[in-house]
Amino acid sequence: MSKKVIDYIVKNDEESIDYLVQTIERIYKNQFVKVMVVDDSEISRQYLVDILKVQKFMVLEARDGLEAISLLVKNKDTKLIITDYLMDKIDGFELTRKIRRHYSSKQLAIIGISAYGSGLLSVKFLKSGANDFIMKPFVEEELLLRIRQNIEILEQLDAYQRLSHVDYLTQLYNRCFFFEIGNKIFENAKRKNLEITTAMLDIDHFKLINDNYGHDIGDLALKHVAQIISKNLRASDIICRYGGEEFCILAVNIKKPNDFKVFEKLRFLIEQSRLQLANREISLSVSIGVTSQVFDSLEENIKHADELLYKAKQQGRNRVVVD
């Protein structure tokens, strides 16, 4: 293919149109994908870089394995490394092994390339941790298909992992993942490296919403509240659907009395919002319990926040209670 041609489509059936659409989507996604080329030959490296730039990838260059490792430290979100085998300082095998100590094949793909050796070279590359191998000289089209395949496998794995971490209805973290990351934050708080605020939030009279309007509307109410929470808390705050109509929030470094202000604002925004339906609108309110103490475990923190939530319910609902 010409260096200025992204791809070509054989126009012969409906599958060709599907391939065209997939290629356009792929090129768009490539703008956000970092690919590193590691080769001590400037000519070979530039050839690969030019191919990748035509495909709109974000391209990084390294002249040897040591430079590649240094570059990877600064670009931890790199998704693919294409590395030559025969290089000074450390070869492609050793580079691959070093990378695999920190990045699994599910996080970062490695394609080995070489003009030397036999079929055993590909075996050694794969045993060192590479995802794929291609021999020089290669057909450009085959290289691009290998690159595309490896990146799309990573994207699929990322999507599967996200599904395992996220509540399907609200798109917030699920309870299991909340504890996985929340316990790490909690341990830092116990060592006094940071301050944490734990909050439990519950939609008031949620059973009545289900009973009066049906479970489909109840699901819409959950999504509505989840969106308001996500939009008005920080990206660093850990939010999960804890169960049923309950949400749990773990926030870092909110000083008193700002803990009350943050969650009072959240309560007010939910109260002022309306769940819009086809022929009506529904008002919602929430009760929130908030603690900025650090107990012996994250579970105890949540239990204490839940007790404060219960007090908010006892005091008439639609309010925030802090300790």
Cα angle 209-210-213, degrees, rounded to a multiple of 5: 70
Asked if residue 128 and residue 64 are part of one domain, the reply reads: yes
Q: Which pLDDT score is estimated for 256?
A: 83
Per-position b or e across 9-41, b if 16+ CB within 10 A of its CB: eeeeeeeeeeeeeebeebeeebeebbbbbbbbe
Tokens 């309950």 correspond to 246
- The residue from 106, 139, 162 where one domain ends is 162
- Same domain? For 187 and 299 the reply is yes
In a domain, 258, yes or no: yes
Q: At what angle do helices 119-128 and 92-100 cross, to 10 degrees?
A: 20
| Contact (CB, 8 A) for 320 and 288 | yes
Q: Are 227 and 204 found together in one domain?
A: yes
The pTM score is 0.62
- Whole-number pLDDT of residue 191: 87
Q: Does one domain contain both 132 and 96?
A: yes
Query: Same domain for 200 and 85?
Result: no
In this structure, the answer to whether residues 215 and 94 fall within a common structural domain is no
Does residue 298 lie in a domain region?
yes
Q: Does residue 5 belong to any structural domain of this protein? A: no
Number of domains making up the chain: 2
Q: Are residues 244 and 144 in the same domain?
A: no
Give the range of the structural domain holding residue 206, as residue numbers without chain letter: 175-322
Whether 211 is in a domain gets the answer: yes
Per-residue pLDDT of the chain (323 residues; tens, 9 = 90+): 545 666 666 666 666 777 778 888 889 999 999 999 999 999 999 999 999 999 999 999 999 999 999 999 999 999 999 999 999 889 999 999 999 999 999 899 999 999 876 678 888 899 999 999 999 888 998 999 999 999 999 998 888 877 789 999 999 999 999 999 999 999 989 888 889 999 999 999 999 999 999 999 999 999 999 999 999 998 889 999 999 999 999 999 888 888 999 999 999 999 999 999 988 999 999 999 999 999 999 999 999 999 999 999 999 999 999 99
Whether residues 234 and 285 share a domain: the answer is yes
Residues 88 and 221 in one domain: no
Nearest to 155 by CA among 112, 107, 110: 107
- Contact indicator for 93, 125 with CB cutoff of 8 Å: yes
Alpha carbons within 13 A on the beta-carbon side of 23:
16
Supply the residues annotated as catalytic: 245
3-class secondary structure, 201 = strand
**Do the domain assignments include residue 8?**
no
The verdict on 140 and 215 lying in the same domain is no
Say how far apart CA 267 and CA 288 lie, in whole Å: 8
**Domain match, 156 and 181 both:** no
Does residue 87 belong to any structural domain of this protein? yes
Asked if residues 282 and 213 have their Cβ atoms less than 8 Å apart, the reply is: yes
Last residue of a domain, one of 98, 127, 162: 162
Q: What is the CATH number of the domain that holds 204?
A: 3.30.70.270
Spatial distance between the Cα atoms of 221 and 215, rounded to a whole number of angstroms: 10
Residues 234 and 124 in one domain: no
- Is the residue at 6 inside a domain? no
CB atoms within 10 A of CB 151: 19
CATH number of the domain residue 87 falls in: 3.40.50.2300
| DSSP H or E stretch at residue 113 | strand 109-114
167, part of any domain: no
